[in-house]
Every structure is written in structure tokens, then in C-alpha cells.
Amino acid sequence: ALRRVQPLNEPMAQFYAEIGIFHQLSQHRLRTREPAEASLFYVPLLPHLSQDAGRCNGTSHKPRMALITSELAASPYWLRHNGTDHLWTCTCVMMKSMLGGVLWRLLEPSIHGVHSIPRGRASPAACQLALPYFNPLFARVEPATL
């Protein structure tokens, strides 16, 4: 069971944009299930959610991040371009402790989707993509009209 620090439908749950982005990208019409065909990889780190979830399914946040680190470091697709074609999201800029030092360093060549371009070394990634705050349950996107 997921332990919530605060309800996902509150405006301050803006840091859960990673959930909405995961949901949107996992269903995107251009998604491929063949990694060799992919030009961009989305890495579902979900660090904010993982940290807030605490212990679940027999594990906790730090072991989950360690598993992600080892899986990425061994991935032939990460190694193919040293992670420069890998995108991950975390809209909380105070994430170094969430990721841990080894994962922080591993993510340096990757693309970080974040709510605003962090100053200094608030992001490990050399390339950052500015994303709006997006709470998947609080924000409602109306269909476009032509």
C-alpha cells in the first residue's frame, strides 16, 4: 500500500508530476516496445513517489534507487550513447538525497525533466528540459477545440 504524505489531489502535490508524465508517456502513440528502435528512452525513476511511498512490496526507497542504478549502468541502451538519449523526471529540485550519490553521478549525461531549470548543481543532468508543474489528479486538461 502506498503511504501518502499528503493527498494526491492537493495543489501541493505538484511534485508528483512524475506520475502524470509516466502515465502520458507509457500510452503515447509513438512509443515503441522495441528498445533497438527507440531514439529516446524514458526512465521511470519516480524518485519523489518512491521516497514518499516508503516501505512497500518488501523494499524501501534506497534499495529501489540502488536497483535502478545497477539496471541503468548495465543497460546496453544506456551504454549505447552514455545515457544522453535517456529522459527522467523529478520536479522537486532538492533531489540529491532522493537519488543518492552513485545514481546522481550516473544521471549526469541524461536529460532531466524538471519544473524550472535549477541553479547551480541542483540537478545532476547536464541537459534539463523545463516542464510545467503538473499534478495528475488536481489539474484537468480540457480537450482542444478547433
Question: Is residue 8, in this structure, part of any structural domain at all?
Answer: no
Residue 3, domain member (yes or no): no
pLDDT digits (tens, 9 = 90+) for 36-54: 999 999 999 999 888 888 8
The predicted structure's pLDDT at residue 21: 84
pLDDT tens digit string along 47-96? 988 888 889 889 999 999 999 999 999 999 999 999 999 999 988 777 88
How much of the chain is helix, strand and coil, in % rounded to 5?
Answer: 40, 10, 50
What is the rounded average pLDDT for all residues in the chain? 83
Residue 119 has pLDDT above 50, yes or no: yes
What total number of domains does the chain contain? 1
Burial of 32 (0-12, 13-18, 19+ CB in 10 A): exposed
- Give the range of the structural domain holding residue 126, as residue numbers without chain letter: 38-130
| Domain-embedded: residue 11 | no
Residue 27 falls within a domain, yes or no?
A: no
Say which residue, 22 or 7, is predicted with more confidence.
Answer: 22
H/E run at residue 114: strand 111-114
58 lies in a domain? yes
